[in-house]
Amino acid sequence: MQSTELSIENIRKDFPILKRKVRDNKPLVYLDNASTTQKPKQVIDALTNYYSNYNANIHRSVYSIAEEATEAYEKVRDKVAKFLNISKREEIIFVRGTTEGINLVAYAWGRKYIKEGDIIVTTEYEHHSNIVPWQLLVKEKGAKLEYIEINDNGELILDQLDKYLATGKVKLVVFSLMSNVLGTISDAEKIISKCHEAGVKTLVDAAQAVPHMSVDVAKLGCDFFAFSAHKMLGPTGIGVLWVRKSVLETMDPFHGGGDMIREVHKYETTWNDLPYKFEAGTPNIADVIGFGSAIDYLSQLGMETVRKHEMELTQYALDKMSQIKGIVIYGPKDVSKRGGVISFNFHDVHPHDVATIIDREGIAIRSGHHCAQVLMEKLDVAATNRASFYIYNTKQDVDKLIQSLEKVSELFKL
């Protein structure tokens, strides 16, 4: 039975790291969840259990522990399918993370279908992982990369998409469902329906969205969809690329090797069925199994509840922070249009100085360009501070962040 409120106290007990002290015996206040989240003991135990009790390679051998490992690994594919409302399990490919997922599309789909003169459209608030693979591709093909800009509120100016689509040259539109810097939630429905009308494929970078809100891939209607496990309580080094089957069937392999083949002869090879054609080599078995536990954990809480908690916390933080003199907050002010990611600058103090000073109070926030230098250029800043929340964060964490900024003010005599 799901409740509509998170029991933060109970949740926090599941995360061993939240018990540790940092620096001068300060409790850790972890506010860098957009980078990576902490892991509950359920996930850590799943990894230990696999390595302790049924470590074996999958899809090959017939002995008992190999069968157990294969079953556990494949069960996670079904969990992903259920979690995101995906009807065909063979559309789900395990990759290293969002970055590898996007690169797989650029390589195995892009290199085959993007031609000279074609246009790929991305946005100004993309992570480098949704810019650089496309830069590499358009350079190779003599194609062009265009950007949907953002307005002063940190939202995409979607009229610009119409302009690009009207050229008839656009082959692919890529965008993140939630900005990792501004927290902005993209109007995916509008973007994808525009692209559908124009017969253009869409790729969704859901690295920031899937961990924090309920996502329905079937309803979304995109063609490619990628996200990472480590930003949603799971282990690092594992992620998912989902590709619509009709598209996936037309794609050539990404990596060649074991497991992705049906028959190999001296000069000729036939490919394995989907999705195995795209999972060459021994996969990251343990971390897929750990990822399964992370999905279980979130499913039990309910993604609507997770989202509600983060909206409340974000509203609280925005209210408190906007009262502090010298703080500039980037991105939408309306919490229904944004996730729990708050980027800010504090007077003229460089974010690295802010982060170093508040780290002494045990507070972990990110400072820097957040792998979004195109966006930093747009905002005309070298860097920002970023606090980002998750299920175990509390209003007290926000209060501590705000108190710690006072130390910055004192040192810099602001």
CA distance 284 to 94: 8
Partner residues linked to 185 by β-bridges: 178
CB-nearer residue toward other proteins: 224 or 346: 346
CB-nearer residue toward other proteins: 264 or 411: 411
Assess whether the previous peptide bond of 275 is cis (omega < 30° from 0): yes
CA distance 95 to 104: 9
Q: Is 369 in the site for other proteins (CB under 8 A)?
A: yes
Which one of 55, 236, 373, 394 is in contact with other proteins (CB under 8 A)? 373
Encode 83-95: b = buried (16+ Cβ within 10 Å), e = exposed.
bbebeeebbbbbb
Report the amino acid identity of residue 289: I
CB-nearer residue toward other proteins: 231 or 366: 366
CB-nearer residue toward other proteins: 71 or 377: 377
Are the beta carbons of 262 and 272 closer than 8 angstroms?
yes
Q: Dihedral of CA 10/16/21/23: which sign?
A: negative
Which one of 21, 82, 333, 352 is in contact with other proteins (CB under 8 A)? 352
Q: Which of 203, 371, 391, 401 is catalytic?
A: 371
CA distance 299 to 12: 17
Determine the interface stretch with other proteins among 61-69, 274-282, 312-320, 355-363 (rule: CB under 8 A). 355-363
Which residues have CB under 8 Å from 50's CB, separation 6+?
69, 72, 285, 286, 289, 290
Q: Is 132 in the site for other proteins (CB under 8 A)?
A: no
Q: Is 36 in the site for other proteins (CB under 8 A)?
A: no
Q: Is 127 in the site for other proteins (CB under 8 A)?
A: no
Q: Is 23 in the site for other proteins (CB under 8 A)?
A: no
DSSP classification of residue 225: E
Which one of 239, 275, 340, 351 is in contact with other proteins (CB under 8 A)? 351
Are the beta carbons of 366 and 10 closer than 8 angstroms?
no
Which one of 258, 302, 326, 368 is in contact with other proteins (CB under 8 A)? 368
Cα radius of gyration (the chain)? 22
Whether 222 is catalytic is no
Q: Is 372 in the site for other proteins (CB under 8 A)?
A: no
Which one of 350, 374, 399, 402 is in contact with other proteins (CB under 8 A)? 350
Determine the interface stretch with other proteins among 138-146, 249-257, 279-287, 356-364 (rule: CB under 8 A). 356-364
Determine the interface stretch with other proteins among 75-83, 113-121, 228-236, 348-356 (rule: CB under 8 A). 348-356
Q: Which two tokens stand for residue 137?
A: 């591709």
Pairing of strands 29-30, 363-364: parallel
Catalytic residue IDs: 371
Residues that bind other proteins (CB under 8 A): 349-353, 356-357, 360, 367-369, 373, 376, 382-383, 407, 410-413
